[in-house]
Amino acid sequence: MAQLSFFTEEDVEAIISLPFRAGMFVSYAEDEEGEQDDVLEMKALEECLKEIARVHNGEQLTKEIAAAILNAKDKWSAWSQGVFNIEPLCEQAIVSLKTQAGKEEVKDYIKMTLEVATSVAQAYGEFGEEQEDEKGFFGKIVAAVTSISVDDSAHPMNVSAAEDSAIATVASALKRAA
């Protein structure tokens, strides 16, 4: 079982920044006028990471990565820059992760990254509204982390075509690198 302490400082930076950057890549894919969508998307990103860090049932490394992302909030602004070319960032993170982590840990990391991206996409609906289901927006996050696959194309209806395309770009890059 890998731990972040097994990786170089450069590898840790690539590994912990990617899920956040993937969320920002999706957020930037379709930017509505005003700040409401940005606020909701950042809230979704942070809440998703909190849930993964707190109660994730997968690999322990995934929980540790989510917690490290939350603890690096001072770097979020810098990580938000340069996310428009996400594919090399995906490759770098997966290559770094594979130096110490097992196959299941890599698979779980990919699921987490896609869940963060999907949570951001779902945060602000097609019609300028915050999206919530009857059980609450974050009620199913942890279950969804274990159900999303790299090939999953069944994204929710409130995800725009631009956001869906952004998620597909991230998923494809992660799959190629894995």
| pLDDT-derived band at 34, boundaries 50, 70, 90 | low
Q: Are 116 and 49 in contact (CB under 8 A)?
A: yes
- Mapped to the 3 state alphabet, what secondary structure does 26-58 carry? HHHHCCCCCCHHHHHHHHHHHHHHHHHHHHCCC
38-77: b (≥16 Cβ within 10 Å) or e: eebbbbbbbebbbbbbeebebbebbbbbbbbbbebeeebe
Distance CA 32, CA 162 (A): 12
Predicted pLDDT at 137: 38
Domain ranges within the chain, ordered by starting residue: 11-76+87-177
Is it the case that residue 38 has pLDDT exceeding 90?
A: no
Q: Which residues have CB under 8 Å from 136's CB, separation 6+?
A: none
Indicate the pTM of the whole model: 0.81
- Give the residue with greater pLDDT, 29 vs 15: 15
Predicted pLDDT at 1: 85
Other beta carbons within 10 angstroms of residue 132's beta carbon come to 13
Per residue in 52-71, pLDDT (tens digit) is 888 777 789 999 999 999 99
Rg of the chain over Cα atoms, rounded to whole angstroms, equals 15
* Mean pLDDT value across residues 23-35: 80
Per residue in 78-124, pLDDT (tens digit) is 999 989 999 999 999 999 999 999 999 999 999 999 999 999 998 86
Residue the block writes with tokens 């274990």: 146
Predicted pLDDT at 10: 97
Predicted pLDDT at 24: 94
